[in-house]
Structure 1
Amino acid sequence: MQNHQFPANFLDSLSNEPGFDRQNFIEAHQKSESPTSIRLNPFKKAESKTGEQVPWCAEGWYLDTRPSFTFDPLFHAGAYYVQEASSMFIAHILKYIKTNEPVNVLDLCAAPGGKSTLLNSALTPDNLLVANEIIKTRVPILADNLTRWGTANSIVTNNDPKDFGGLTGFFDIVLVDAPCSGSGMFRKDPEAMDEWSPANVNLCHQRQERILADVYPALSEDGYLIYSTCSYSHQENEDVLDWLCSTFAVESVRIPINSDWGIVESQSPEKKAWGYRFYPGKVKGEGLFASVLRKRESSGNLSSTKSNKTQSNKSDKELDLIKPYVNDPSAYHFFKVNDDWLAINKQHKDSLNILQQHLYIKKSGVRIGRLAGRDVIPDHELAQSIIINKDAFEQTELNYAQAIEYLRRDNLNITEAKKGWSLMNFEGQPLGWAKLLPNRVNNYYPKELRILTSPRPSAKEREL
Structure 2
Amino acid sequence: MNNYPFPENFLASLSAENGFDEQNFINAHQFSDAPTSIRLNPFKRPALKTDEQIPWCADGFYLNTRPSFTFDPLFHAGCYYVQEASSMFIDHILKHIRQNEHQPVKVLDLCAAPGGKSTLLNSAIGADDLLVANEIIKTRVPVLTDNLSRWGQANVIVSNNDPKDIGRLKSFFDIILVDAPCSGSGMFRKDPQAMNEWSEANVNLCHQRQERILADILPALNQDGYLIYSTCSYSHQENEDILDWLCREFELESIRIPIYKEWGIVETESPLEKAWGYRFYPGRVKGEGLFAACLKKKDNTGELGNFKNNMQQKISSRDIDQVKTYINNPDGLYYFMVNDDWLGINRAHKESLNILQRHLYLKKSGVRLGKLMGKDLIPDHELALSTIINRDAVLQTPLNYDQAIQYLRRDNIDLNPTEKGWSLMTFEGHALGWAKLLPNRINNYYPKEIRIINQAPAPHSPEG
Normalising by structure 2, we get a TM-score of 0.98
CA RMSD, aligned part only? 1.2
Measured in 1, the distance between the counterparts of 2:463 and 2:130 equals 35
The verdict on how the C-alpha distance between 1:309 and 1:154 changes in structure 2, with shifts beyond 3 A counting, is: closer
Query: Could you tell me which residue of structure 2 aligns to residue 144 of structure 1?
Result: 146
- Checking the alignment, whether the CA contact within 8 Å between 2:56 and 2:91 is kept in structure 1 is yes
Structure 1 residue 164 corresponds to structure 2 residue 166: yes
Residue in structure 2 matching 1:284, options 283, 286, 289? 286
Range that drifts further, 273-282 or 317-326: 317-326
> In the aligned structure 2, how far is the partner of 1:251 from the partner of 1:310?
39
For residues 375-422 of structure 1, give each alpha carbon's deviation from its aligned partner in whole angstroms, at most 9, with x where no partner exists: 110000000000000111110000000000000000113213411100
Rounded to whole Å, the distance in 1 between the matches of 2:386 and 2:289 is 33
Post-superposition shift, 1:308?
A: 4.1
> Equivalent residue of 1:325, what SS?
coil
Q: Tell me the residue number matched to 2:419.
A: 418
Deviation at 1:3, TM superposition (A): 9.1
CA apart distance, 1:317: 2.0
1:248-267 matches, cutoff 5 A: 248-267=250-269
Letter in 2 for 1:360: Y
Residue of structure 1 equivalent to 2:443 = 442
SS at match of 1:147: helix
Cα distance in 2, alignment partners of residues 174 and 187 from structure 1: 29
Counterpart in the other structure of 1:346: 347
Q: Secondary structure at the match of 1:409?
A: coil
How far the C-alpha of 1:309 sits from its partner, in A, is: 6.2
Paired amino acid for 1:337: V
2:430 corresponds to which residue?
A: 429
Q: 2 CA distance for matches of 1:308 and 1:271?
A: 45
CA contact (8 A) 1:305 1:354 kept: yes
Letter in 2 for 1:225: L
Aligned mates of 2:309, 2:178 — CA distance in 1: 30
Give SS of 2:316's match. helix
Separation in structure 2 between the aligned mates of residue 165 and residue 211 of structure 1, nearest angstrom? 10
- Report the Cα offset of residue 275 of structure 1: 0.1
Write out per-residue CA displacement over residues 225-244 of structure 1, whole angstroms, 9 at most, x where no aligned residue.
Answer: 00000000000000000000
Inter-CA distance 425–202: structure 2 relative to 1 (3 Å threshold): same
Q: CA 1:82/1:308 → structure 2, altered by over 3 Å: closer, same or farther?
A: closer
CA contact (8 A) 2:221 2:297 kept: yes
2:25 aligned with 1:25: yes
> What does residue 336 of structure 1 align with?
337
Compared CA separation, residues 310 and 172, structure 1 to 2 (3 A): closer
Corresponding residue for residue 80 of structure 1: 80
Q: What is the SS of the residue equivalent to 2:452?
A: coil
Which amino acid counterpart does residue 436 of structure 1 have in structure 2?
A: L
The question of 1:61 aligning with 2:97 is answered no
2:435/2:443 contact within 8 Å kept: yes
Query: Partner of 1:363: helix, strand, or coil?
Result: strand
Does residue 402 in structure 1 map to residue 416 in structure 2?
no
- Out of 195, 202, 206, the residue aligned to residue 204 of structure 2 is 202
State the one-letter code of the partner of 2:96.
Answer: Y
Q: Is the 8 A contact 2:417 2:437 kept in 1?
A: no
Q: Distance in 1 between matches of 2:322 and 2:313?
A: 15
* Aligned 8 A contact 2:48 2:463 in 1: no
Per the TM alignment, residue 45 of structure 1 is displaced from its structure 2 partner at its CA by 1.3
Q: Which runs of 5+ in 1 are unaligned?
A: none
Code of the residue aligned with 2:238 in structure 1: it is E
Report the CA distance between 1:318 and its aligned residue: 1.5
Question: Do the aligned partners of 2:312 and 2:338 also contact (CA within 8 Å) in 1?
Answer: no
Q: Which amino acid aligns with 1:400?
A: Y
Counterpart of 1:10, as a letter, is F
SS in structure 2 of the partner of residue 221 of structure 1: strand
Contact 1:307 1:350 in 2 (8 A): no
List aligned pairs for 1:6-405, cutoff 5 A.
6-98=6-98, 99-308=101-310, 312=314, 315-405=316-406
Q: CA deviation at 1:4?
A: 5.8
Q: Which digits, 9 at most, give the CA deviation of each residue in 1:401-458, with x for residues without a partner?
A: 0000000000113213411100000000000000000000000000001000001234
The alpha-carbon deviation at position 373 of structure 1 amounts to 1.6
- What letter corresponds to residue 165 of structure 1 in structure 2? G
> Which sits farther off after the overlay, 414-423 or 447-456?
414-423
Secondary structure in structure 1 of the residue aligned to 2:325: helix
TM-score (norm: length of structure 1):
0.98
Structure 2, unpaired ranges of 5+ = none
The Cα of 1:315 is off from its aligned counterpart by 2.5
The residue type paired with residue 92 of structure 2 is: H
Instruction: Give, as a single letter, the amino acid of the residue that structure 1 aligns with 2:89.
Output: F
SS of the aligned residue for 1:19 comes to coil
